[in-house]
Amino acid sequence: MNSPLRIQILVVALCFTTTSQAQSSWVQNPGNGHWYTTTAVSDWHTAEAEARALGGHLATVRNPAENDWLFQTFAQTDNIWIGFSDELVEGSWEWVNGETTAGTNWAMNQPDNDWIGQHWAYIIRGSSTDPVLPPSYWDDAYFYTTMIGVVEVPRDPSGPHLSSSAPVAGQMLTLTVNQVSPGSLVHFAWSSSGGGPISNQYGFMELSPPIHLLNPQVADLQGVVVKTGYLPSFLQGFSLWIQTWSTSDMVLSNGIQLDIQ
């Protein structure tokens, strides 16, 4: 539990300045209405942290149609991380967003946990010529394996969209809000207690009380606000939930959970 003193220190620590930054490119899957983008090339944990910072998780595959769409859209030339892991219990594969699905698409004799260290699933690229790892099937990989990840968010990212850089104690954090009305006043709210939801005049906030506010900022001519601030080292292991809204658009952004490393 976070003590009142610790929260007061955190309020002081979260001081941000404002600038501007380009937005991410998203693609909608017409089959489920969800939106997707890709991460930088990285290991699975870093890709999942990037996905969370964008307000989602690494992609869940619920049926063959979703697997085919992910493969055709993102995996023609690159292997792609999905949000499936048995890191916690060997052989007990779980989706990182908590969903349960009945089907899988493992390649023959996979997952094999080769050398007792493969706990993270990916979709095999279309350019694969390995006969035991055919395109569009799944394989398991090591913690040090790197590739792009596919991020999935359920809401339309054409509305106000909040994202962040990787939250690392002792480093700078960047919060970015895209797609708000130019010149509108954007409010930042955060909680250290959880992800809600609670209702307010703009809809359901993904924050739990008590909720704290940062100084509002005016969006630039591109409809972007960027805040940067330093995360002190003592915040390692701390979690924050952040969400924004614009008084002009009267719409909440997505909420994001930051697990400070």
pLDDT tens by residue, 151-167: 998 776 667 889 899 89
| Average pLDDT across the chain, whole number | 87
Instruction: CATH number of the domain at 222, please.
Output: 2.60.40.380
CB 191 within 8 A of CB 212: yes
Q: Which helix (H) or strand (E) holds 162?
A: strand 161-164
What pLDDT shows up at residue 248? 80
What pLDDT shows up at residue 247? 82
Q: Which of 129, 153, 177 is the last residue of a domain?
A: 153
Residue 76 DSSP code: S
12: which residues sit within 8 A by CB, 6+ positions away?
Answer: none
47: which residues sit within 8 A by CB, 6+ positions away?
Answer: 39, 40, 58, 81, 148, 149
What pLDDT shows up at residue 6? 46
- pLDDT level of residue 76 (50, 70, 90 thresholds): very high
Q: Which of 153, 171, 198 is the last residue of a domain?
A: 153
Domain count, the chain: 2
Higher pLDDT, 118 or 204: 118
Q: Return d(Cα 177, Cα 164) in angstroms, integer.
A: 9
Helix %, strand %, coil % of the chain (to 5): 15, 35, 50
Residues 119 and 176 in one domain: no
Residues 181 and 145 in one domain: no
Residues 31 and 81 in one domain: yes
Domain span including residue 228: 4-24+157-259
Residues 136 and 163 in one domain: no
- pLDDT level of residue 92 (50, 70, 90 thresholds): very high
57 DSSP β-pair partners: 152
- pLDDT of 115 above 80: no
In this structure, which amino acid lies at residue 134? P
Residues 12 and 57 in one domain: no
Mean per-residue pLDDT, 200-217 = 87
What pLDDT shows up at residue 178? 87
Q: Return d(Cα 165, Cα 84) in angstroms, integer.
A: 23
Residues 91 and 109 in one domain: yes
Q: Return d(Cα 43, Cα 38) in angstroms, integer.
A: 13
Residues 172 and 210 in one domain: yes
9: which residues sit within 8 A by CB, 6+ positions away?
Answer: 234
Q: Return d(Cα 76, Cα 258) in angstroms, integer.
A: 31
- Paired tokens of 178: 């895209």
Span of 10-19, 47-56, 161-170, 189-198 with lowest mean pLDDT:
10-19
Percent pLDDT > 70 in the chain is: 89
Residues 229 and 187 in one domain: yes
- pLDDT of 217 above 70: yes
- pLDDT of 5 above 50: no
Residues 38 and 17 in one domain: no
What pLDDT shows up at residue 197? 78
Which one, of 18, 36, 16, lies nearest residue 26 by Cα?
36
Q: Which of 122, 153, 184 is the last residue of a domain?
A: 153
Residues 132 and 189 in one domain: no
- pLDDT of 209 above 50: yes
Residues 34 and 146 in one domain: yes
What pLDDT shows up at residue 1? 42
